[in-house]
């Protein structure tokens, strides 16, 4: 059995360190995943034929590739073509690539739901194509995409644990190490589960608040 | 159905002799052709617009009236034909089209307000982003324009909170804010019930009186009779007949025009 003070002296410090790494992974991945997702959806919707097809193929590729395989390619495969990434960097890049592909699908759907007439009215006022996108299309599309994007964010919280497979000691990994060392699987994994649950719950509440803040009368999300 | 040769002389518009240089005209539209696939929607439409004039376009639906308006500000690119604002060519103007679109306002049947912006933001957004006005001046002007259309009290409401008539008045304010030389109205009251139609027509009448140059696609014959300087009857992508309301509504030269106009006389009689 675990020694006295196991929770305070061993479990909490270990999980805290892991949590910091998990948060780093998320905080670095999510913004770029969102930006790249917006870029891909715009490329697909407004880009020329080539760009549009590239974006489409990219999404198909990511959807068809298990994330773990993508991480292995980035970490173990790329060095053979002269690109060596740290385990942490490979994880973040993998998460961004994956997160962006799915985000782009939600955003594209939301772009399609913005009424065409508003685009025409904006052009009729003299806005350039880019101004129409920035001032009229995206503000509405992103609002509508919030539920989908927040789902992806929640997935990201959970699949960030795959970084452990590249030796990044994030929350799950830290738990696994402690659990194995002290032979306390149930206690440790329940504790780890509670932390993930807290992260997801916090996200859900934050998204709810965000949705309320940006809500516009009559604009159904 | 009506080839150009069959048109009566007044249908070809004024100033045909010197179409290239005549500053009496704010807008000149010359020989506009537009096809969608094999569907020939505009078959060579020409007319000129004097400063301060209100021209009302009537004609059966599917005749190309909306397409014509959209060709004027190049939301639709015609295959052939040219449009001038004063002496500047609007067609083939490249990136300068943004300038022309500021000068040629447009109001749509379904308002097309920006759903995510309040009334005042709807009016000021293009002032900020297109005209690059500073925020205070833009806000001041947006509120002024809303006041002109009787919507200042609704400045902070979103489109979804406005009635159709109110939304349309905001969209007129939005067009006015750009300080246009001409405003194109594409069936501005067709989506509104009679009471709301009246409030929008009031605003348009006031605008016409103030000297705004307006092209209006509308089947509000009362408005056409009392406000229009010219009425243009279109059918099948051609101008059939053009003239002042007295002539065109009460003494048209063509049977087609008489039939079309008669339809409306019938309707109003039945209503009364
Ligand atoms: N973007 C488009 N693509 C294909 N056909 C169109 C398009 N816009 C209009 N049309 C066709 O052009 C014709 C004229 O339409 P429109 O200009 O809207 O007529 P009106 O405004 O007089 O009712 C119609 O047959 C319509 O179906
Ligand atoms: Mg129409």
What ipTM score was computed for the predicted complex, to two decimals?
0.89
The owner of tokens 């279109």 is: B234
- Dump pLDDT digits (tens) for A174-190: 999 999 999 999 999 99
B217 bridge partner residues:
B57, B186
**pLDDT tens-digit map of A2-35:** 566 898 899 999 999 999 999 999 999 999 999 9
Give the pLDDT score at A220: 63
Among B8, B83, B75, which Cα is nearest to B47's? B83
**Adjacency order of strands within the sheet including B88-89:** B39-50, B25-36, B80-85, B88-89
Instruction: Find which of B114, B138, B157, B162 to mutate to test the A interface (most A CBs within 10 Å of its CB).
Output: B114
- Compute CA distances B265 → A109, A137, B220, B239, B259, whole Å: 47, 43, 11, 21, 10
Rounded Cα–Cα distance for residues A159 and A67 (Å):
8
Q: Do B47 and B206 touch, CB atoms closer than 8 A?
A: no
The token pair that represents B7 in the structure block: 């048109």
DSSP-assigned letter for residue B187? S
Task: Assign A221 a pLDDT band (cuts: 50, 70, 90).
Answer: low
DSSP B159: G
**So what's the pLDDT on residue A8?**
87
CATH superfamily of A8-153+168-214: MetI-like (1.10.3720.10)
B16: Cβ below 6 Å to ligand 1?
no
| CA-to-CA dists, residue B267 to A89, B177, B179, B259, angstroms | 73, 36, 37, 13
- pLDDT value for B65: 98
Q: Is A132 within 8 Å of A123 (Cβ atoms)?
A: yes
pLDDT (tens digit per residue) in A108-128:
999 999 989 999 999 999 999
Mutation pick for ligand 1 pocket among B41, B56, B79, B217 (CB with most ligand atoms within 8 Å): B41
Distance, CA of A128 to CA of A10 (rounded, Å): 59
The two beta strands, B88-89 and B80-85, are antiparallel
What DSSP string runs through A138-177?
A: HHHHHHHHHHHHHHHHHHHHHHGGGGGGGT---HHHHHHH
Pocket test for ligand 1, best of B39, B57, B78 (most atoms within 8 A of CB): B39
Strands (E) across B108-223 are located at 182-186, 213-217
Distance CA B223, CA A204 (A): 55
How far is Cα A55 from Cα A97, in angstroms, rounded to an integer? 12
How many angstroms away from the CA of A101 is the closest CA of chain B? 26
In sequence order, what are the residues at sequence separation of 6 or more whose Cβ sits closer than 8 angstroms to the Cβ of residue B163? B196
CA separation for the pair A54, A2 (Å, rounded):
54
Inter-residue contact A54 to A104 (CB < 8 Å) = no
Nearest residue on chain A to B132, alpha-carbon basis: A127
For residue A143, give both structure tokens. 């609002």
Top-confidence residue, B7 or A219: A219
B108/A136 CB distance under 8 A: no
* Residue B99 forms contact with A (CB below 8 Å): yes
Q: Which residues of A touch B (CB under 8 A)?
A: 115, 117-118, 120-128, 131, 135-136, 139-140, 143, 216-219
The Cα A22–Cα A139 span in angstroms is 30
Determine the pLDDT at residue B265.
Answer: 63
- Mean pLDDT, chain B, rounded, equals 90
Please give the C-alpha separations between residue B65 and each of A125, B53, B69, B71, in angstroms, as whole numbers: 20, 18, 6, 10
CA angle A107, A113, A118 (to 5 degrees): 110
| Conformational region of residue B260, where left means phi above 0, alpha means psi within -120 to 50, and beta covers everything else | alpha
State which of A1-5, A213-217, B26-30 shows the largest mean pLDDT.
B26-30
Separation CA A23–CA A27 (nearest Å): 6
Residue A15 is predicted with a pLDDT of 96
Give the residue extent of every domain in chain A: 8-153+168-214
Mark yes or no for CB contact A117/B108 under 8 Å: yes
CB contact under 8 A, B112 and A139: no
Identify the band that residue A219 occupies on the pLDDT scale cut at 50, 70 and 90.
confident
């Amino acid at each position: 059995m675990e020694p006295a003070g196991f929770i305070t002296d061993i479990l909490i410090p270990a999980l805290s360190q892991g949590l910091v790494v998990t948060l780093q992974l998320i905080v670095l991945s999510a913004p770029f995943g969102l930006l790249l997702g917006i870029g891909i959806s715009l490329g697909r919707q407004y880009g020329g034929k080539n760009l549009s097809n590239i974006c489409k193929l990219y999404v198909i590729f990511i959807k068809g590739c298990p994330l773990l395989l993508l991480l292995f390619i980035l970490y173990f495969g790329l060095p053979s073509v002269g690109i060596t990434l740290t385990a942490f960097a490979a994880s973040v890049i993998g998460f961004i690539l994956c997160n962006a592909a799915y985000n782009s699908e939600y955003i594209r759907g939301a772009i399609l739901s913005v009424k065409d007439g508003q685009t025409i009215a904006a052009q009729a006022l003299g806005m350039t194509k880019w101004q129409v996108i920035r001032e009229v299309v995206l503000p509405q599309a992103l609002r509508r995409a919030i539920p989908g994007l927040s789902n992806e964010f929640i997935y990201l919280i959970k699949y960030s644990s795959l970084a452990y497979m590249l030796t990044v000691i994030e929350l799950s990994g830290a738990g696994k190490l402690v659990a194995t060392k002290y032979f306390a699987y149930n206690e440790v994994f329940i504790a780890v589960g509670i932390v993930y649950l807290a992260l997801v719950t916090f996200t859900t509440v934050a998204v709810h608040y965000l949705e309320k803040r940006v809500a516009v009368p009559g604009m159904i999300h | 159905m009506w080839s150009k040769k069959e048109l009566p002389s007044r249908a070809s518009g004024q100033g045909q002799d010197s179409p290239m240089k005549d500053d009496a005209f704010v807008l000149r539209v010359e020989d506009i052709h537009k096809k969608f696939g094999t569907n020939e929607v505009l078959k060579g439409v020409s007319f000129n617009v004097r400063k301060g004039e209100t021209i009302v376009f009537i004609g059966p639906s599917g005749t190309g009236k909306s397409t014509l308006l959209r060709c004027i500000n190049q939301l639709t690119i015609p295959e052939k034909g040219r449009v001038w604002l004063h002496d500047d060519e609007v067609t083939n103007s490249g990136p300068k089209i943004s300038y022309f679109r500021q000068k040629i306002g447009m109001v749509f049947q379904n308002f097309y307000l920006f759903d995510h912006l309040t009334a005042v933001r709807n009016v000021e957004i293009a002032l900020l982003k297109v005209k690059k006005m500073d925020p205070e001046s833009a806000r001041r002007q947006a509120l002024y324009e809303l006041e002109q259309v009787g919507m200042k009290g609704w400045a902070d409401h979103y489109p979804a909170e406005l009635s159709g008539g109110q939304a349309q008045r905001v969209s007129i304010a939005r067009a006015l804010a750009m300080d246009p030389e001409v405003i194109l109205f594409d069936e501005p009251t067709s989506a509104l019930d009679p009471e709301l139609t009246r409030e929008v027509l009031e605003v348009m009448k006031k605008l016409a009186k103030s000297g705004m140059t307006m092209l209006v696609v509308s089947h509000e014959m009362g408005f056409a009779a009392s406000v229009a300087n010219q009425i243009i009857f279109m059918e099948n992508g051609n101008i059939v007949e053009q003239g002042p309301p007295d002539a065109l509504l009460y003494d048209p030269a063509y049977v087609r025009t008489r039939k079309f106009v008669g339809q409306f006389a019938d309707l109003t009689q039945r209503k009364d």
